[in-house]
A and B are shown apart, each in its own frame.
Chain A
């Protein structure tokens, strides 16, 4: 058993930059590299691609990431754990093998699947009721099982825990491609594997989950999504480094980044990330443990080094959280700018005109004045002081069909000749919107599966 391992996080979302992961793999002296690439809705969109082509449905950047990283991973004996399998871990794993063979590299790859329960969800064993509010309420109360009765469901993926990944690590897989797995579990599994932690030692699992949570958004703890030139300066943003954690067998860690990279890791960045997306710091639910964040201690021990101690946990929940993706509606949007004297007055006239033209046909219409009220709401519209140098009108509405959604942008475009003076720079968009509802399902009904491939 080791006493210390180093885990790097090279990606914090599906569209993340690739360069910082390469630097970690090349110079980070890592034992493990984690790439977290799967937001709530990403897997539903991936499932749509899989339905269109059964050989697709893994992360669209998987090829680029693996092609650039694999030589470093093999040379430096780093094990990769990533949820880039998205809706199709098996095909993702096969793609890794194909790339390895092309590069003449020997690797053992494991695909972790079994999270896709879309078929089961349609069967009798899962009751259907409720709307999103009810589902969220039930999640809070931790009841089960529920699903939804909304528009057609296109995906249902359970957040798996460490089980499948642990089996793959024990079987010496070097590259582990998962579907939906709780983000902190991607980091917690190597700790369990290397330190011999028991999977019912909830105190240690809670501590490891805290470390995983701090790491899972990559650049967010190393100065990305943090910088504010007035109050929180961050140097060398363009070369922002992603973090690594030296994790110790007692469940403590030191979070740092590769020497020479940009960004900053300090008490402030660590605190912001610790509280990020936490809805109850006393009980942070994962499939492995219910972690406690209220006993975590953070300490800045050197430049760009934060020590994490404390934290804990209690018994894992009886249910898995399941993200259900459904076809919600078509969204139509149109934008147009007004500038110079009376810009806000003309924009408002345009907004009212559009609303009057559309209101009989669309129930939900959003009218925003970008630069005035589009983020913080109408309070700011009434307080806006004229003259305003420019304002951009945005109109958005929900529609049942693609053709109906297109009408929104068409009406905004028609303001060129049928609206107030000086309207400029129209853009119009139509998008199919996939909604996500979170529900709970008895964990005994869902078993992770592991499939191996070798190049």
Chain B
């Protein structure tokens, strides 16, 4: 099963930081996501794209996780040579993770 099957996500950008939300369709899955989708797992999954530290915020108030990925946008939105300068597609890369 992939994260895509049970959760949705939106990517945001600030400078060279990418923010990735992870929101289960069923709020009962939140605890499981907290256990399974660790920082290490995300770091491994996004290796080669996210070069810096990843911080995970747990938000039980909305049953969601937020991953703040530093050094993730090839130097930053405005000066990256990548096609996807904002890293907008990274939400779907996160959701592509096998769990």
User: Taking beta carbons and an 8 Å cutoff, which residues of A are in contact with B?
Assistant: 40-41, 132-133, 136, 220, 225-226, 228, 231-232, 268, 271-282, 293-298, 310, 328-329, 331, 364-366, 368, 370, 374-379, 394, 396-398, 433-436, 438
Contact = CB atoms under 8 A, between A and B. Distances in A.
A331 B81 contact: yes
Interface of B: 4, 8-10, 12-17, 19, 21, 23, 25, 47-49, 57, 59, 61-62, 64, 66, 68, 75-79, 81-84, 89, 93
Nearest to A436: B78
Contact of B76 (A132, A280, A298): A132
Nearest to B49: A377
B19 A377 contact: no
B83 A435 contact: no
A438 B59 contact: no
Contacts of A278: 12, 19, 66
Given A329-B79, A377-B48, 12 more contacts: A231-B8, A272-B9, A277-B19, A278-B19, A278-B66, A280-B57, A293-B59, A297-B61, A297-B62, A364-B81, A370-B83, A376-B93
Contact of B62 (A136, A276, A296): A296
A41 B13 CA distance: 13
B55 to A, nearest CB: 8
Given A132-B76, A277-B12, A278-B12, A375 B62 contact: no
Given A281-B59, A297-B61, A328 B17 contact: no
B21 A271 contact: yes
B47 A379 contact: yes
A370 B89 CA distance: 14
Contacts of B23: 268, 271-272, 275
B79 A328 contact: yes
A374 B8 contact: no
Contacts of A433: 78-79
B12 A276 contact: yes
Contact of A281 (B4, B66, B75): B66
A396 B66 contact: no
A298 B81 CA distance: 38
A374 B64 contact: no
Given A278-B66, A279-B68, A296-B62, A438 B15 contact: yes
Nearest to A230: B4
A383 to B, nearest CB: 12
Nearest to B13: A277
Contact of A275 (B25, B64, B79, B81): B64
A328 B15 CA distance: 14
A379 B93 CA distance: 12
Contacts of B61: 294-297, 310
